[in-house]
Structure 1
Amino acid sequence: MCGRYTITVTVEELMARFGLFDAPGIPYHRPKYNVAPGQMVLAVVNDGRNNRIGELKWGLIPEWAKEESVGAKMLNARAETAADKPAYRIPLRRKRCLIPADGFYEWKREGGLKQPMRIRLKDGGLFAMAGLYDTWLSPDGRRVSTCTVLTTAPNPLVADIHDRMPVILRREDEAFWLDRQVQDPADLLSLLWAYPAAEMEAYPVSQLVGNVRNDSPQLIEPIVPPDSPVQEGWLL
Structure 2
Amino acid sequence: MARAETDPTDPLVSLGLGVDRGSPVPLYFQLAEQLRAAIEQGRLAPGALLGNEVAFAARLGLSRPTVRQALRTLVDQGLLVRRKGVGTRVVPAAAATGAGPRPALTSLHDELDAAGRRPATRVLESAVVAAPADVARALGVEEGAEVRRLERLRLADGEPLAVLRSHLPLRAPLPPAAELEAAGLFRLLRAAGVVPHSARQRVGARGATESEARLLDEREGAPLLTLWRVVVDATGRAVECADHAVRPTRWVLDQRLLAPE
TM range (shorter): under 0.3
Greater helix fraction, Structure 1 or Structure 2: 2
- Scaled by the length of structure 1, what TM-score is found? 0.26
Comparing both chains, which one has the higher relative contact order based on Cα–Cα distances under 8 Å and sequence gaps of 6 or more? 1
Q: Which has the larger radius of gyration?
A: 2
